[in-house]
Structure 1
Amino acid sequence: MHVDIGNALAEVATPGVSEAALERLDAEVADAHETIAAGMSNAVFGYASLNLPETTSASGIERAVADVDADAVLTVGIGGSALGARTVTAALGEPEHYVLDNVDPEHATRLLDSLDLPRTAVNVVSRSGTTAETLANFLVVREAYEDAGVDWTERTAVTTGETGPLADLADAEDLPTLAVPEGVPGRFSALSAVGLVPAAILGHDAEAVLAGAREARDTLSGSLFDCPAYAYGAVAVALERRGAHTNAFVPYAEALEPFAEWFAQLWAESLGKEGQGQTPARALGATDQHSQLQLYRAGRHDKVVTLLRATERDDRAIPDTDVEGLAYLGDATLGELLDAEFEATEASLAAARQPNVRVEVERVDARGVGDLLFSFEAACVLAGELMGVETFTQPAVEWGKNAARGLLGAGETEEAAAVRGKREYRIE
């Protein structure tokens, strides 16, 4: 991964970071890196996430699912138990990976009705095995298979912790079982079985994803000037300190749109604490140049725009045309047009003094997505260190889970009582 922070400098953008401020910030980065490196070395909770490129066994994952014969995969999970896997398969161009990560009944019914169940594997993921949304959806999926006369046990792989209802079910039914790695929060688990099982079932090279992540891991150093991941995380924090409270994340590749969703969870859940944290906004280039860009260029100076693209891709020529005003397109390709749109957006933002950062990866492929996943995880961990927050916890998320469990009858909770005590002011 390569990062260009030129359009986030104070001479270009408002807010912006001066080169002198970057030098001062680099001393903070050096101290933070010592903490991160020590945490990795000792496999401390959270920091162990950055060891996954070395500790995850691609061959072990492939052996575990070798007997799962399917042409499509349905992942049942939520949050980090689904977003990483979806990000990987999208980057690999895999169209036969489906995700059930919400308990919207109409959506669940439409999705299950659209699937060819005899040729679809089920990939159910929950560390605790007690996640309400995941277990509810899995029960619905299992019933759909039974109603269709399809043996779900021959098509189901489970990724979970050592104990819990899912672990017990997998043991009772002799299902292929993979471990959620110890010491790794869900949103940091894409480079483990949590994120790689669907790709492995569908015959993709999981080891290549890990190889790309290892290449990114090798760039970690005590200076933001030598490490693209740290450069991104440090500049994001510096801009937030100066008022850039939104991070608009804009990939210029359809295959990276799920990556933007993965980034949004990573950035929000890890850094949104103690009155701090940038709000991630998702967009897609060039599509959203015709919608959101108006705000990013002409709105408040309270955001940084992250522009992500691949420098190499398969391309397609634009056919010649005699239509006046369009003939110039016949000398170009779709890729050249996309690059022109990217660079025009970047220049447009800079001209309006809106800070933006360019991120590039060589290709959107197995190595490229591994590189991006690791690099942004490292950037996020560094950002948390610089901000002084507990990067790897999610207390606000747990509050909502406790409230939902109480409302569904799993025992009265303080959070459920708060929901029932809602202040109403209805207008009908």
Structure 2
Amino acid sequence: MKADIGNALDGALGLDRAALDDLDERVADAHERIAGGRRESEHGYAALSLPETCDPEPIRRAAAGFDPETVLTVGIGGSALGAATVTDALDSPVDARYLDNVDPAWVRDLVADLDLSETVVNVVSRSGTTAETLANFLVVREAMESAGVDWTERTVVTTGPEGNLRSMAETHDLPALDVPDGVPGRFSALSTVGLFAAAVAGHDLDELLAGAASEAGKLSGSLYDSPGYAYGAVSYALGERGAAVNAMMPYAESLERFAEWYAQLWAESLGKDGRGQTPARALGATDQHSQLQLYRAGPADKLVTLVRPLESPDTGIPETDLSGLEYLGGSTLGDLLDAEFRATEASLAAAGRENVRLEIDRVDERGLGELLYAMEAACVVYGELADVSTFTQPAVEWGKKAARGLLGGGEFEEAEAVRGKRRLEVE
């Protein structure tokens, strides 16, 4: 993967090369802390060792007994988004679906749309007690039973060493994959959590991990040697100068879910102690016709991240005699998308609005491995530079306790705060 940070310099927020060179000294210190955390397999830092520590064989064995039409992942947040990013990006004969919300109408319609006799279910929760995941799984299990499908023959569990899911797997002799120690869910795409659906869909897990390993090998004491560190350091430096928003804008329809994965990674990891950036999700070229207006002419408080593959399948544009459109004939949709990409980049730069270009060779297993790993490394180095607790999520845990208390799952003061909501209603 390559990161071009040239357009992040000398813009409206005032980051210049001298300041970036000064920051590079702090990146060297951050790298030492990260490298030490990886060596000791410390919580969170262990995620950056997954290219070496993740063994794909158990994942392949768990997937080998199935030849389904659909693989349905039941999880939420990091328990689903990594897998969805990979399967959405890659062509596959298997339909990969995700139950990652508890909107009742949506869940009902999704489950009703499946041939459950041709579906393999992967239920994913480290604790084995995640309310949304367990509730959705119970709905799916009941639907299987009602359809005369033996759910125990079509369910794989991915979970920690204890909890309801582990007990269920042992009771019913279900295939069970272990969630890796020390890896928060949002950093788990390149592990058992994120790779089962890809394995069922026939994707090359070795190439995914090899792509990640190639980026891991670039981590060093300088941001100028590592695309991941370069992106993380520049994002941090601009954030400190007022870039409160980071707009992730891939120029590939297949990477739209990647932007969603990135948003969770960036927000949950870095939104601490009044620090961090708000991730915005955009899609090139679609959102050039809407969001670009704000990014170029609105408040100078954003970094725009442009992502693209250098190679992709292409489609020719037919010749036309329509007045004013003759220039399109004989070119390709790829040519048009490339022109749109470069025009957006130049438009932002001309207005002094900071942007970064990230490029992979192709949207394939290796390219995705590179991209996912580089963004995780970027997030970790940002957290080190900002001195935030990158691998915790206390605000998320507060909401979980509040919801559980409201449902009668225990006594939690957070639930009382919900009940005490201030109201000022207008009808």
Question: Deviation at 1:63?
Answer: 1.1
For residue 142 of structure 1, report the CA deviation from its aligned partner.
0.5
The code of the aligned residue for 1:373 comes to L
Runs of 5+ consecutive residues of structure 2 not aligned to the other structure: none
Measured in 2, the distance between the counterparts of 1:230 and 1:15 equals: 20
Corresponding position of 1:7: 7
What corresponds to 2:304 in structure 1? 305
The 3-state SS of whatever aligns with 1:360 is strand
1:18 aligns to 2:16 (yes or no)? yes
Does 2:35 align with 1:37? yes
Instruction: Percent identity, please.
Output: 66
Deviation of residue 64 (structure 1)? Answer: 2.2
1:224-278 deviation line (CA, Å, top 9, x unaligned): 0111110000000000111000000000001100000000000000000000000
Q: Deviations over 1:379-424 (max 9, x none)?
A: 0000000000000000000000000000000112100000001111
Distance of 1:389 and 1:93 partners within structure 2:
38
- Secondary structure (helix, strand or coil) at the match of 2:124 reads strand
Q: What is aligned with 2:81?
A: 83
Q: Which runs of 5+ in 1 are unaligned?
A: none
Q: Determine the C-alpha separation between the residues in 2 that align with 1:372 and 1:93.
A: 17
Aligned residue for 1:14, secondary structure, equals coil
Q: Secondary structure at the match of 2:42?
A: coil
Q: 1:230 matched to which residue of 2? A: 229
Task: Kindly state the Cα deviation for residue 156 of structure 1 after the two structures are TM-superposed.
Answer: 0.8
SS in 1 for 2:64: coil
DSSP-derived class of the 1:229 partner: helix
Q: Give me the whole-angstrom Cα distance separating, in 2, the residues matched to 1:123 and 1:335.
A: 36
CA shift, 1:68, in A, is 2.6
Partners of 1:154 and 1:204 in 2: how far apart?
23
Runs of at least 4 residues of structure 1 off by over 3 A?
none
Other-structure match for 1:70: 68
Query: Do residues 113 (structure 1) and 112 (structure 2) align?
Result: yes
User: In 1, distance between residues paired with 2:214 and 2:91?
Assistant: 22
- Deviation per residue, 1:292-344 (Å, 9 max, x gap): 11111110000000000001111111111121211211121111110100000
2:268 — aligned with what? 269
Whether the 8 Å CA contact 1:8–1:357 is kept in 2: the answer is yes
Aligned length: 426
Tell me, in whole angstroms, the C-alpha distance in 2 between the residues paired with 1:405 and 1:118. Answer: 33
Contact persistence 1:8–1:16 (CA under 8 A): no
Tell whether the 8 Å contact from 2:58 to 2:177 is kept in structure 1 after alignment. no
- Amino acid across the alignment from 2:289: H
Instruction: Give secondary structure in 2 for the equivalent of 1:149.
Output: coil
Q: Which residue matches 2:330?
A: 331
Partner of 1:122: 121
Superposed, which structure 2 residues align to 1:161-310 within 5 Å?
A: 161-310=160-309
Q: TM-score, normalised by structure 2?
A: 0.99
Q: Distance in 2 between matches of 1:56 and 1:69?
A: 24
Write the letter of the residue equivalent to 2:272: K
Counterpart CA distance in 1 for 2:332 and 2:9 is 33
SS of aligned partner of 2:421: coil
